[in-house]
Amino acid sequence: MSPAFPAAVYVLCFVTSTACAYLLARNYLRTAARLLLWSALCFGLLAANNLALILDLLVLPAVNLATVRQGFSLAAILVLLFGFVWDLDN
């Protein structure tokens, strides 16, 4: 496997999660369904996680950003979980 393959996968994951966040946010603005908002925020944080992964492994390999990546992942899951619980009442 060439070294360019993991880099391409990381970039495609970032692009995909960014596109999902954008589409979810756009539909939230149209419909005002709050679950779309929480999902858009979750995917935005996952996109930030993927960006931190790209920076960590490809751009700045000497800097360890594992804690930052885990923080973004945890925040994404917590935001989505909060959104599920919050919208459960409505």
On the question of pLDDT at 9 being above 70, the answer is: yes
The set of long-range contacts for 75-79, using a CB threshold of 8 Å and a minimum separation of 24, is 75/45, 76/41, 76/42, 76/43, 76/45, 76/46, 76/49, 77/42, 79/38, 79/41, 79/42, 79/45
pLDDT (0 to 100) of residue 89:
61
* pLDDT band per the 50, 70, 90 thresholds, residue 1: confident
Domain count, the chain: 1
- Domain span at residue 56 reads 4-84
Q: Tell me if 89 is assigned to some domain.
A: no
CA distance 66 to 23: 28
Q: Tell me if 38 is assigned to some domain.
A: yes
pLDDT (0 to 100) of residue 12:
97
Q: Tell me if 90 is assigned to some domain.
A: no
Task: Encode pLDDT of 35-90 as tens digits.
Answer: 999 999 999 999 999 999 999 998 998 999 999 999 999 999 999 999 999 877 65
Q: Tell me if 58 is assigned to some domain.
A: yes
Q: Tell me if 50 is assigned to some domain.
A: yes
Name the CA dihedral angle for 28, 30, 31, 34, rounded to a multiple of 10 degrees: 20
pLDDT (0 to 100) of residue 90:
57
Which of 17 and 87 is assigned the larger pLDDT?
Answer: 17
